Structure 1
Amino acid sequence: MDHDGSMSRMLRMCEWVMRLAYTNLLWLLFTLMGFGIFGLMPATTALFSVMRKWIQGHEQVSVFRTFWKVYRVEFVRSNLIGVALLIIGTIIYVDLAFIYPTSWFLHVLRFAIYIFGFLFVVSLFYIFPLLAHYDWKKRLYLKFSLLLGISYLQYTLCMLVFSALLFVLFAYLPGIVPFFSVSILAYVHMWLAYQVFKKVEFDSEQRAAEVKKRLPSFLQSKRVNTQ
């Protein structure tokens, strides 16, 4: 019985290794299909969408079909968001590269830029999970990626720590980068972000139920006062 259980766990682990390697290779392929710069955003959005399906329990979903559908649908929107992120990131990088703290004002300015840089990284952690999970207007993704990252800082710090550990691992094992680098990162970030989304949606439902519970008595008291 224990032998059967061990074999089952081993097969399950091998299945997940193959899934992560397959989706990582798909990400590379679809990124190259967009000549790199135009394929990066939609391919990453498609990757996060597949991870979201798996996290929700839809493990038998057609990976290639889902990847291709999301890639086509999100191609324009994700690239427009990518342009906005590129502009913001470039401004932060240029400011840090060329502002030298030779006075107290420049010291304060540089510190402020570091803060903006940290907030920018926080936004990046949630952009792709939001694109995979919600269908919003473009400006809302930038706004809520920052709000969620700050409001649920414990999850954001987990993403940051995991990203750093993964970077160290790949520095020591560069041979596995083409097969697991982005897919593992996407799965963990999507899982953590999905916990945040569930908390936000649960809290919203609780508040809506509370308002609905209080609304009749409020309306009655208002009607009585106006008679």
Structure 2
Amino acid sequence: MDHDGSMSRMLRMCEWVMRLAYTNLLWLLFTILGLGVFGLMPATTALFSVMRKWIQGHEQVNIFRTFWKVFREEFVRSNIIGVVLFIIGTIIYVDLAYIYPTSWLLHVLRFAIYIFGFLFIVSLFYIFPLLAHYDWKKCLYLKFSLLLGISYLQYTLSMLVFSAVLFVLFAYLPGIVPFFSVSILAYGHMWLAYQVFKKVEFDIEHETAEVKKRQPSFLQSKRVNTQ
């Protein structure tokens, strides 16, 4: 029995290794198909969408079909968001590269830019999970990626630590980078972000239920009748 259990765990581990390697290669392929610049955002959104399916328990989902479907549907929207992020990131980089603190005012300005840079990184952690999980207007992704990142800082810092650990691991094992780098990172970030989404949705449902309880009975009955 113990032997069968060990074999089962080994097979499941091998299955997950193959899944992560396959999705990582799909991400590379679709990024190249989009000419790199235009393929990066939709391919990454598609990757996070597959990870979301797995985290929700849909492990037998058709990976390629899901990847291709999300890549097509999110191609325009994700690239528009990507352009906005690129512009913001470029402004922050240029400011840090060319503003030298030769006076107290420039010291303050540079410190402010560091803060904006940190907030920008926080937003990046949540952009792709939000794109994979919600169907919103484009401006809402930028807004809520920052709000969630700040409001649930413990999860954001966990993402940062997880990313740093993976960076060190890949530095020591560069041979696995083409097969597991982006897929493992996406799975970890999506899992952490999904915990945040569940907390937010639970809080909203709880608050909505509390509001309904506080309403006078005639208001509640009126709402039912109008439906």
When the two structures are superposed, what TM-score results if normalisation uses the length of structure 1? 0.95
The total of aligned residue pairs comes to 220
SS at match of 1:101: coil
Q: Which runs of 5+ in 2 are unaligned?
A: 221-227
SS at match of 2:101: coil
| 1:202-217 → structure 2 map (5 Å cutoff) | 202-216=202-216
Rounded to whole Å, the distance in 2 between the matches of 1:215 and 1:126 is 35
SS at match of 2:169: helix
Cα deviation for residue 218 of structure 1 reads 9.2
Distance 1:147 1:218, change over 3 A: farther
Cα deviation for residue 217 of structure 1 reads 5.8
| 1:185-200 → structure 2 map (5 Å cutoff) | 185-200=185-200
Q: Which runs of 4+ in 1 moved over 6 A?
A: none
Rounded to whole Å, the distance in 2 between the matches of 1:87 and 1:181 is 26
Rounded to whole Å, the distance in 2 between the matches of 1:62 and 1:218 is 49
User: Letter of the aligned partner of 2:62 in structure 1?
Assistant: S
SS at match of 1:38: coil
Alpha-carbon RMSD across the aligned residues, in angstroms, is 1.1
Rounded to whole Å, the distance in 1 between the matches of 2:107 and 2:217 is 56
Structure 1 residue 100 corresponds to structure 2 residue 100: yes
| Matching residue of 2:224 | none
Structure 1 residue 67 corresponds to structure 2 residue 75: no
When the two structures are superposed, what TM-score results if normalisation uses the length of structure 2? 0.95
Rounded to whole Å, the distance in 2 between the matches of 1:119 and 1:218 is 46
Rounded to whole Å, the distance in 1 between the matches of 2:78 and 2:104 is 40
User: Letter of the aligned partner of 1:101 in structure 2?
Assistant: P
Rounded to whole Å, the distance in 1 between the matches of 2:24 and 2:211 is 45
Cα deviation for residue 216 of structure 1 reads 1.4
Rounded to whole Å, the distance in 2 between the matches of 1:55 and 1:180 is 17
| 1:72-221 → structure 2 map (5 Å cutoff) | 72-216=72-216
Rounded to whole Å, the distance in 2 between the matches of 1:88 and 1:25 is 29
Q: Which runs of 5+ in 1 are unaligned?
A: 221-227
Rounded to whole Å, the distance in 2 between the matches of 1:12 and 1:83 is 39
For residues 82-103 of structure 1, what are the alpha-carbon distances to aligned partners after superposition, in whole Å with 9 as ceiling and x for unaligned? 0000000000000000000000
Structure 1 residue 3 corresponds to structure 2 residue 24: no
Aligned-residue identity in percent: 90
For residues 112-138 of structure 1, what are the alpha-carbon distances to aligned partners after superposition, in whole Å with 9 as ceiling and x for unaligned? 000000000000000000000000000
Rounded to whole Å, the distance in 2 between the matches of 1:60 and 1:12 is 13
SS at match of 1:37: coil
Rounded to whole Å, the distance in 2 between the matches of 1:78 and 1:15 is 30
User: Letter of the aligned partner of 2:25 in structure 1?
Assistant: L
SS at match of 2:100: coil
Rounded to whole Å, the distance in 2 between the matches of 1:29 and 1:212 is 50
